[in-house]
Structure 1
Amino acid sequence: MGPARPRRAPSPPPELPLLLLVHDQGSAAPMRVLAAARGLCRVVLLCEQGDPELAAGLRSVAGHADIVDLTGLDDESVCRLAAGLSPAGVVTFSERRLRLTALVAAACRLPFHRPETVDALTDKFEQRRILRNGGVQDTRCALVRDPAGLAGALALVGLPAVLKPRFGAGSVDTCLVRSERECGSRLAEFTEGGDPAGQRDFVLEEYLHGDPDGAGHGVGDYVSVESVVVDGEPRTVAVTGKPPLVPPFRETGHILPAPLAPPLAADVIGLEQRAIRALGVWHGVTHTEVKLTPDGPRIIEVNGRLGGHVAEIVQRALGYDLVAAALRGALGLPVAEPRPAPCEPASQRHGRVAFQYMLVPPADARGAVRPAELVEELAGLPGVDLVDVPGTDGRPAHWRAGTAGALGIVYGSADDHTALRALLDQLQVKMAAFWLKPSVEPV
């Protein structure tokens, strides 16, 4: 045997780029982001650590990621702090942190929405103006700040109309109004107490009547389009169908693929892409809600972030990781092309139809809720894989809380859209019966 050759010391692993996650309540929990970031980047969370709404998510990542507390810092201080970390990317999955993330991105010269684009994405009145001026869609719309301005707004918009906050998400304080009296009553209720920051301005806009034949019987008359935007070009990942809304406008989940004929899906995508370009979206993930009307698809709103609960169903149904796509785009890395094409005929698709069904109580719900009873009621239905009903305080949230008032989510799949409609009917019947049970005080 010859002399032993000297062993070369192993090379240290390359340093991963640093990604800032501007964290708040949103569509991707910290642990979900860390899972998508594995082997891709190091994640530093920027957030207000003392916020009780964030406590559980922050505990889950303790020891797995650095957390920088923003409590008490103004925007300029946050931008200086962020720049000092020399990040390679910045991202958020929170509607209310879009503006701060845009400012951080600008200060660090990183890809994200420009501040003026965030204005267009978060201000519902401004968004309607831009879409109208860009020739995308003219939706009658008026800004209302107090009951004194209602007469002029109603003369412009007409009845019925939709009253919603100028800023916000999740259908909070969003309702249909059919008379001037009802509109004034709702506006007074929603603005009680005032808001010196001006964030309680409301928008009154024309009600878009749905086409029951658009998606077919048993499902909602609207869809959402999930896209990844790279250098100003939207790449459509999915057209997502919906179960029927719970009044007034509370979303109850997602269906993938959506039960749309390919020509209608193509029209929906074409409208969504024109809207994204008109609003100046250049980078990131978007979630665009589109109403199916007798006159064709119409934009409800364009959101400049991942939709709530969307990443799970897209990955389950299509195998596409929207969270990872958002991280790669933020880092300036290539983003995977979505497959299959959302306009592909249903006969050429393979696999089951995936769904999420959110357990949203009716507006007049008063009875106490026992999670174990709900799980028992629903878990035995064919096609149901999981009923997730976290512990509650026993009382359903008021309808003004919007989709945040859901008690839990049912996850599952069906062989096709016909079978899915039958399953959704069973879920709705069981939930209706559940709420008719005698009220029981929580133990």
Structure 2
Amino acid sequence: MRLYLLALNPTDAVTEGFLPAAARLGLDVTVLTDQPDAHRRIYPETEVLECDVRDFRAVITRISTHHRPDAVFTNSDHLQTQAALAAAYFDLPGKDWRATLRCKDKAEMRRRLSAAGVDTVWSAELTEPAALDAPYPCVVKPREGVASEDVVLVDGPEDLMTRSKEILERRPGSVLVVEEYLPGELFTLETLGDGNVRHVLGGFHTELSPPPYFIEERLTFVPAHPEPVVEQVLAQLDALGVGFGACHTEFVVHEGRARIIEVNYRAIGDQCDLLLARLLRIPLFEHILRTHLGEPLPADLGARRDGAARLEYPCADRAGTLVDAPRSTDLDVDGVRLTYRPLRSVGERHELYMTNRDYLGVLRATGPDQRTVDRVVAEFLAERQWEIQP
């Protein structure tokens, strides 16, 4: 069976998750990407074809002139609609392209949730800097952005004018969304569905950097959110038409009310997916691929709920060259399994981005209870250093 996997830059999810899972399923994989050399360097044994994957017409043409497809899949935020349209063209299982578009376009997501009567958030779109009469503080962000890139809290019209001008200079031709700030604790909900059955895999409690930025610095696994919270989030996902394959939803809870911040219609990223598969002890990546092959999910995934987990992302606090940092490490300490992977090489120079691009590495930890996991993680981080010189 032939799987076409759409990708932009190489990611850990594809390299360590989906490609090994496809091999275990016995699938022939063809990667379609606009960055073929980068992918061939990482997995030279996999067929990689150059394609303008942002254009669904180019994707359909590339597939139709190659081998017959059995599945078209992507884990990229930017390519969900293209993959959904290509799958529909070839009469293959896939996500509803309208749902993928609603999730990717943050302004359309707000309109859809409001029209469905499940949540209304004040929002507006900007194509040029402007000082709006808005319910400040507000959040300004790219309409189709990801990973906290150019997401910032503004406290008044002048601040909005300044920030929107800066972002649009970095992103000419982009559209910005300005929306009211939603107070509350930030969480995620991880779901997996086949169009009929939907499993809730749990979620994470996310700790952010101080305002005005929204860098995810720490995530702690939550085996089960309160049922009323889950029901509210699922109702909003239903309004968006989300229910097939993996979905990563970010939401806040304030005084018992759950309100979606954004929906990433794919598996959770930044190595959380790798941790989730280990923690729950399920073939998560295989399950995701099977749904795109048209196979139903089991009524019970057999996921374990008795473990604890945490992820830490050491971040750069200044611009400069990384001159000292821990190497890739795997350890078992007091029943806690630690996996550290560097995300920036020693010798690299970077500016300070105030986004997830400031991550220096990621530490994944799973263990029997949260107190032990937290202690072991704190000790690991305290014993290591990341040195940046101007």
Q: Please confirm whether the aligned pair reaches a TM-score higher than 0.5, indicating the same fold.
A: yes
Distance 2:187 2:361 in 1: 21
Alignment partner of 1:286 out of 234, 247, 259: 247
Are 2:244 and 1:320 aligned?
no
Distance 2:380 2:177 in 1: 34
1:412-427 aligned at under 5 Å gives the runs: 412-422=365-375
Q: In the alignment, which residue of structure 2 is the partner of 1:217?
A: none
- Read off the aligned partner of 2:4 and give its amino acid letter: L
Percent identical: 25
- Read off the aligned partner of 1:90 and give its amino acid letter: V
Q: In the alignment, which residue of structure 2 is the partner of 1:240?
A: 204
Are 2:228 and 1:254 aligned?
no
Aligned-residue CA RMSD (Å): 3.1
1:139-150 aligned at under 5 Å gives the runs: 139-148=121-130, 150=131
Q: Which has the larger radius of gyration?
A: 1
1:386-405 aligned at under 5 Å gives the runs: 386-390=339-343, 391-400=345-354, 402-405=355-358
Are 2:181 and 1:207 aligned?
yes
- 8 Å CA contact 1:243, 1:424 repeated in 2: no
Where 1:238 maps in the other structure, the secondary structure is strand
Are 2:288 and 1:307 aligned?
no
The change in CA–CA distance for 1:292 and 1:239 in structure 2 (over 3 A counts) is: same
Are 2:56 and 1:70 aligned?
no
Q: In the alignment, which residue of structure 2 is the partner of 1:34?
A: 19
1:80-95 aligned at under 5 Å gives the runs: 80-84=61-65, 85-95=67-77
The change in CA–CA distance for 1:358 and 1:98 in structure 2 (over 3 A counts) is: same
Q: In the alignment, which residue of structure 2 is the partner of 1:165?
A: 142
Distance 1:393 1:93 in 2: 30
Query: Deviation at 1:380?
Result: 11
Q: Give per-residue Cα distances to partners, 1:373-396, cap 9 Å, x unaligned.
A: x469x9899757233224144445
- 8 Å CA contact 1:141, 1:203 repeated in 2: yes
Query: Deviation at 1:340?
Result: 6.1
User: When you count helix as a share of all residues, which structure comes out higher?
Assistant: 1
Q: Give per-residue Cα distances to partners, 1:102-123, cap 9 Å, x unaligned.
A: 2211211112223222220100
- 8 Å CA contact 2:323, 2:389 repeated in 1: no
- 8 Å CA contact 2:36, 2:49 repeated in 1: no
- Read off the aligned partner of 1:205 and give its amino acid letter: E
- 8 Å CA contact 1:223, 1:291 repeated in 2: yes
Aligned length: 383
Q: In the alignment, which residue of structure 1 is the partner of 2:162?
A: 185
Q: In the alignment, which residue of structure 1 is the partner of 2:311?
A: 356
The change in CA–CA distance for 1:297 and 1:430 in structure 2 (over 3 A counts) is: farther
Query: Deviation at 1:179?
Result: 1.9
Q: In the alignment, which residue of structure 2 is the partner of 1:44?
A: 30
Where 2:389 maps in the other structure, the secondary structure is coil
The change in CA–CA distance for 1:311 and 1:75 in structure 2 (over 3 A counts) is: same
Runs of 5+ consecutive residues of structure 1 not aligned to the other structure:
1-16, 211-220, 343-348
- 8 Å CA contact 1:145, 1:201 repeated in 2: yes
Distance 1:239 1:284 in 2: 16
Query: Deviation at 1:231?
Result: 1.6
Query: Deviation at 1:239?
Result: 1.9
Q: Give per-residue Cα distances to partners, 1:142-175, cap 9 Å, x unaligned.
A: 1122223x324x2xxx111111110011010001
- Read off the aligned partner of 2:365 and give its amino acid letter: G
Are 2:236 and 1:275 aligned?
yes
Query: Deviation at 1:30?
Result: 3.6
Q: In the alignment, which residue of structure 2 is the partner of 1:218?
A: none
Distance 2:145 2:54 in 1: 23
Where 1:240 maps in the other structure, the secondary structure is strand
Query: Deviation at 1:206?
Result: 1.2
Query: Deviation at 1:426?
Result: 6.1
Runs of 5+ consecutive residues of structure 2 not aligned to the other structure:
none
- 8 Å CA contact 2:233, 2:258 repeated in 1: no
TM-score between both structures, scaled by the size of structure 2: 0.86
Q: In the alignment, which residue of structure 2 is the partner of 1:20?
A: 4
The change in CA–CA distance for 1:325 and 1:339 in structure 2 (over 3 A counts) is: closer
- 8 Å CA contact 2:71, 2:92 repeated in 1: yes
